[in-house]
Structure 1
């Protein structure tokens, strides 16, 4: 099964690389094809690449290109946010991840670094990405430079924040813990972290918490005078050589980086001699400051030494140099195999790998976000591309949606209307109609005569004269519907500038209903924060009787199933079970009985109140033996007044995305838009129309 693992952290410098490297090696021992993806990376100067990506691709020899391993830079993220286009950003991240998911058995996803211009938004952004990818999530934190209680509280708050956003953390790692505190740290975490969450403690590893000389050189933009091949040396501390040599030597410790002005030759030579002496510790290197190269005699002396360390010259003064070095954060980099090997061996030493893998294997989630649902719809439409006709070719919203659909290769599109009028409107809204979008003027169409004659034949039992048939087929709604009837298009979407009746009547006249269906109805896909509900009928039938309501329930259940939603059908009323009575309750009760008799394979409950249908606690209280109460995914309203107002109230008050209405019961798909629809509404309705037109619908 294609899947992924998301690793993110609570703050910067948590030691996340230990976990990422360890898990990637672990995955490669279980499956053959592993991918790597970073949704957000920092901004880098031209020609410089992200260290995490470079390291993972090169060290593990992953079969993928650098450009495919990340989504966006942080500056791009900030730009999207400033433009109010966060939703578009998430959609594109999902799309990039899904492309990798298709190519690999498992994709390891790594969150952002909490570094640079996006720090203020990164935590929320990582939560949003985790939620929308809906894959097992690992949260990394650190106790470095913190009191234990503060470190525990920080991780506890992060886990709860993710949970509040419907992300259940599968595993937490507390890194950089003093070795003597590891047992106590585990006890503290067990008291606050949910028991089903895997907890691991990794101690502070000195070799991983220290930068290399190379990292410092890059940060300082220094010039390497000596020791180019020794830049991988570890720097555990630095010491400024501004005192007399005898006092300075007493301050040297193992892996010290010496910082001194370039004219302090006695410090430079003393440090080099101390490095080779058995009486003093080895140093990591020497930084000479102020842009002062040591004197020629000193350089000549150094050239003659049999053993040296890296010597770097920088332009900054000594104090500024020391400040910059103190801010250098160690990173995992390509080619520094000592650190990479140490990271992996540390992971393997402290982590129960098999237990962790079992957590990933057992991961299940019912969370379906609006972004996920939309992505899945588009992917399904693309898989078997269909042709949709849009009669309202001059409407600016239709033009914008049509070009977007074609640019993304979702469907083939035909616009109806006069070519010159459509091109003028397209120019006004800034879109270009190219050869990928077909334009048909009904009056000039080569099919016009065939269409009106077919209509006349189909309606002759209604004594429709030829002139009326000719006039009807000049109407874009009739012409578009006839294209669908004839198989010249797979579906039609209209209603942005026409009434519902104008869209539906032609379909009822000659496309007609599917076998066994007598009631054309509609449903909406209500995309709430963490799930999608199907709601019907909210657009067509004003006051359906019990038989019609039963048919609406069955049609809506079939629609849910076709779009990947497990149908649990609730026929709504103002009372639950046998608690109330009245004409409207009796109607819903009769409809429920009829629906169950027609489709005993479906889970159907009614009459039931809205809260009992969707809230598990209320459902269990009011109808404890029901398979639907508290977990309904298909909500059937007793009349149009209730349905239309309820879906609009939910949409406005919660910000939920409502996709539809989608008409149910016709032989071929024709769907109606609201005259207040947005470009996104048109886009989504065309997508669901294309899916309806697919053979496996």
Structure 2
């Protein structure tokens, strides 16, 4: 077990973001870490954010004022002992503990002296967290040299490196926000150049003695609040809250001139500021919203709020989510307040914390992690690691995935992300002008190699092939009619090997997505049925649940096939399967037809696939809880350690997955269909952009497996 103590070199350096990003990077590498903020100020929310992001309850922290009082009175021994106790409490089952050090006090030497004592007490390695300016290397180098000297200089071999946060002087391209850990974003050339510059003014900064382990760019996107967060700062009341929880203030603009010369200011993420009597600004904001431009919001200043009649006239725009506030402040006061907002991450803004974790983690040197963070246990597949592996494997496979809902905004954005990051070659079935309108309204950048195919231009060419595939069940006129449905059209493209996989369901039902696959793709030669699995992203590990969506009451033979399909799917996604055949009985403790079916299915799997680790029947607690497993099935290789759960029927499987998902707040990815000749996957109609991205990646991996 290792401990990393993160020491900030000055206040407001981004220590919270650094801690969360480092923990996320460790998690994606299968390293089981935990977090200790031993001394927390009244306003700090790092521990609460850590709990929300990583589903892990941190130990209680001492109050920072206690530390300040103890340092002032030179009585720190008891505090250090208490910190060691807290550390030991969480270190027993972890590979790495990330600890936040004390930020600089008015007397910088006192805080660093205490941090050094803390490092010794916890036997911790030290990582500096600092800021860098590529245009001022001398200032950056001397600042770090001073901090190193305060910890004992070169004689202190605990210092392992420096993580530069909020780095200035980088190009805008470096501020891309990834959907998961993306080491390709790491600024290798920039890091090497900065190291060379720093070595002109320091013998150690930027060398192997004090290496740069990450160069994290300053990001306007991640440094901005939601519209919801600005109301209190402006003493404002909500006329319409709309989508204030989702919108972010990327900039603000005071509209003081004629509206016709200000229309270019109505762009995505812009907070429009105007006097209350300017009804033309309210109307322009409403029209922009109806045109699909997601404004951050509208702030109406001074005097009284607009009359009910004008608000009623704008009702359709308000219903589409336009946030509108009214404040008694004048426009200049509003701008002044906005310029002095507190940009610390709010516990209510988990989305921003997630993005920051991915962003910071992606800029950390993975080689450094492997070199300095040694761990003895075999890495488990955490949810973050699962998503990371998903993305990396899909990039390696480079599959062509058709998206029948090509004019749906979330799908368009997901396709752009996948195309830009190389996750897949996406094909949008849509009118090109409809896609261009979405791209313009959302201020997206359309990759030149993203394919957009007009369904009307190609659908008739598939009619004969469709009739041939459904010979005796379909005539030509019926085929042409059905091919007007883009899901049917996309499925025919897949059937004819023009694409490698299909993802739909953002606006279509599961039946609309799956039925054409059953009719035109059919099952793979080695299987007699199609089944489904969900990937359940529990806090510490990813489980596979099957079948929870397709087969109502499978026979023993079908249940065995579902188990084999699910095990092979688990392997394809980096999970070494330990299969539990779930029942209301463990071993021979119960009897009945339902138990006998599970017993027979288990025997069939063992006979057909002796390479698989499987046991059943097992009750869910015997399969998942180590102590229960040892008690009920002491000789089992699976009991207490299962990661693939096969349920005896659809009623049990669907109920269990939803119960776990909702009551334990677990993310589930799926359903993923298995057993088809070619991969087709369904989305939830409430899917987020990230959900669609991961489903596309998942489909690309399936396509490689079925190729």
CA distance, structure 2, for counterparts of residue 112 and residue 169 of structure 1: 7
Instruction: Check if 1:658 corresponds to 2:668.
Output: yes
Structure 2, unmatched stretches of 5+, are 57-66, 102-108, 110-117, 127-137, 152-197, 211-369
Q: CA deviation at 1:573?
A: 1.1
Question: What does residue 618 of structure 2 align with?
Answer: 608
Q: CA deviation at 1:396?
A: 2.5
Indicate the RMSD between aligned Cα atoms, in angstroms: 5.0
Question: What does residue 521 of structure 1 align with?
Answer: 531
Question: What does residue 626 of structure 1 align with?
Answer: 636
Question: What does residue 59 of structure 2 align with?
Answer: none
Instruction: Check if 1:387 corresponds to 2:400.
Output: yes
- SS in structure 2 of the partner of residue 530 of structure 1: coil
CA distance, structure 1, for counterparts of residue 595 and residue 150 of structure 2: 77
- SS in structure 1 of the partner of residue 587 of structure 2: coil
Question: What does residue 354 of structure 1 align with?
Answer: none
When residues 412 and 146 of structure 1 are mapped into structure 2, their CA distance, relative to the original with a 3 A threshold, is: farther
When residues 233 and 93 of structure 1 are mapped into structure 2, their CA distance, relative to the original with a 3 A threshold, is: closer
Contact 2:560 2:604 in 1 (8 A): yes
Q: CA deviation at 1:399?
A: 2.0
The match for 1:569 among 574, 579, 590 is 579
Contact 1:399 1:431 in 2 (8 A): no
Contact 1:382 1:411 in 2 (8 A): yes
Deviations 1:94-153 (A, max 9, x none): 79x98xx9xxxxx9x9x9999999993567789999999xxxxxxxx9x98555443232
When residues 516 and 91 of structure 1 are mapped into structure 2, their CA distance, relative to the original with a 3 A threshold, is: farther
Higher mean Cα deviation, 477-486 or 676-685?
A: 676-685
When residues 167 and 159 of structure 1 are mapped into structure 2, their CA distance, relative to the original with a 3 A threshold, is: farther
The match for 1:74 among 6, 11, 14 is 14
Instruction: Check if 1:580 corresponds to 2:520.
Output: no
- SS in structure 2 of the partner of residue 569 of structure 1: strand
Q: CA deviation at 1:360?
A: 6.6
CA distance, structure 2, for counterparts of residue 409 and residue 167 of structure 1: 32
The match for 2:454 among 432, 441, 449 is 441
The match for 1:404 among 397, 417, 422 is 417
Question: What does residue 599 of structure 1 align with?
Answer: 609
Contact 1:576 1:622 in 2 (8 A): yes
Question: Residues 303-342 of structure 1: matches in 2 within 5 Å?
Answer: none
Question: Residues 143-222 of structure 1: matches in 2 within 5 Å?
Answer: 145-161=74-90, 166-167=94-95
CA distance, structure 2, for counterparts of residue 590 and residue 537 of structure 1: 17
When residues 450 and 360 of structure 1 are mapped into structure 2, their CA distance, relative to the original with a 3 A threshold, is: same
Contact 1:522 1:662 in 2 (8 A): yes
Q: CA deviation at 1:339?
A: 12
Question: What does residue 464 of structure 2 align with?
Answer: 453
The match for 2:4 among 2, 8, 22 is 8
Deviations 1:496-540 (A, max 9, x none): 222222222222223221121011011111111111111111111
When residues 116 and 649 of structure 1 are mapped into structure 2, their CA distance, relative to the original with a 3 A threshold, is: closer
- SS in structure 1 of the partner of residue 484 of structure 2: coil
Q: CA deviation at 1:441?
A: 2.2
Q: CA deviation at 1:582?
A: 2.3
CA distance, structure 1, for counterparts of residue 670 and residue 494 of structure 2: 19
CA distance, structure 2, for counterparts of residue 337 and residue 669 of structure 1: 56
The match for 1:475 among 469, 480, 485 is 485
Question: What does residue 44 of structure 2 align with?
Answer: 120
Question: What does residue 135 of structure 1 align with?
Answer: none
Question: What does residue 53 of structure 1 align with?
Answer: none
Contact 1:522 1:538 in 2 (8 A): yes
- SS in structure 1 of the partner of residue 586 of structure 2: coil
When residues 515 and 415 of structure 1 are mapped into structure 2, their CA distance, relative to the original with a 3 A threshold, is: same
When residues 75 and 201 of structure 1 are mapped into structure 2, their CA distance, relative to the original with a 3 A threshold, is: closer
Q: CA deviation at 1:486?
A: 1.7
Higher mean Cα deviation, 332-341 or 651-660?
A: 332-341
Question: What does residue 539 of structure 1 align with?
Answer: 549
Q: TM-score, normalised by structure 1?
A: 0.56
Contact 1:42 1:116 in 2 (8 A): no
Deviations 1:600-629 (A, max 9, x none): 211111111111101100111110000000
Flag the structure with more relative contact order, 1 or 2, with Cα contacts below 8 A and sequence separation at least 6: 2
- SS in structure 2 of the partner of residue 694 of structure 1: helix
Q: CA deviation at 1:487?
A: 1.8
Contact 2:529 2:558 in 1 (8 A): yes
Q: CA deviation at 1:417?
A: 2.5
Q: CA deviation at 1:338?
A: 10
When residues 170 and 422 of structure 1 are mapped into structure 2, their CA distance, relative to the original with a 3 A threshold, is: closer
Question: Residues 21-170 of structure 1: matches in 2 within 5 Å?
Answer: 74=14, 77=17, 120-121=44-45, 145-161=74-90, 166-167=94-95
When residues 658 and 76 of structure 1 are mapped into structure 2, their CA distance, relative to the original with a 3 A threshold, is: same
Contact 1:496 1:675 in 2 (8 A): yes
CA distance, structure 2, for counterparts of residue 580 and residue 116 of structure 1: 53
When residues 10 and 553 of structure 1 are mapped into structure 2, their CA distance, relative to the original with a 3 A threshold, is: same
Contact 1:170 1:359 in 2 (8 A): no
Deviations 1:54-108 (A, max 9, x none): xxxxxxxxxxxxxxxxxxx618939xx9xxxx7xx6798579x98xx9xxxxx9x
CA distance, structure 2, for counterparts of residue 651 and residue 580 of structure 1: 28
CA distance, structure 1, for counterparts of residue 610 and residue 495 of structure 2: 33
Q: CA deviation at 1:463?
A: 4.0
CA distance, structure 2, for counterparts of residue 362 and residue 75 of structure 1: 24
Q: CA deviation at 1:233?
A: 14
Return the index of the structure with the highest Cα Rg. Answer: 1
Structure 1, unmatched stretches of 5+, are 14-40, 44-72, 102-106, 133-140, 177-184, 194-198, 203-213, 220-230, 237-331, 345-356
Instruction: Check if 1:647 corresponds to 2:657.
Output: yes
Q: CA deviation at 1:644?
A: 1.6
Q: CA deviation at 1:234?
A: 8.5
When residues 118 and 686 of structure 1 are mapped into structure 2, their CA distance, relative to the original with a 3 A threshold, is: farther
Question: What does residue 329 of structure 2 align with?
Answer: none
Question: What does residue 262 of structure 1 align with?
Answer: none
Q: CA deviation at 1:677?
A: 2.5
Question: What does residue 672 of structure 1 align with?
Answer: 682
CA distance, structure 1, for counterparts of residue 698 and residue 685 of structure 2: 18
Contact 2:2 2:95 in 1 (8 A): no
Contact 1:10 1:158 in 2 (8 A): no
CA distance, structure 2, for counterparts of residue 527 and residue 511 of structure 1: 29
Question: Residues 475-494 of structure 1: matches in 2 within 5 Å?
Answer: 475-494=485-504
CA distance, structure 1, for counterparts of residue 404 and residue 379 of structure 2: 38
Question: What does residue 244 of structure 1 align with?
Answer: none
Q: TM-score, normalised by structure 2?
A: 0.55
CA distance, structure 2, for counterparts of residue 569 and residue 376 of structure 1: 21
CA distance, structure 2, for counterparts of residue 623 and residue 366 of structure 1: 25
CA distance, structure 1, for counterparts of residue 428 and residue 125 of structure 2: 61
Contact 1:519 1:548 in 2 (8 A): yes
CA distance, structure 2, for counterparts of residue 234 and residue 682 of structure 1: 50
Contact 1:567 1:633 in 2 (8 A): yes
- SS in structure 1 of the partner of residue 448 of structure 2: coil
CA distance, structure 2, for counterparts of residue 642 and residue 506 of structure 1: 27
Question: What does residue 505 of structure 2 align with?
Answer: 495
Question: What does residue 512 of structure 1 align with?
Answer: 522
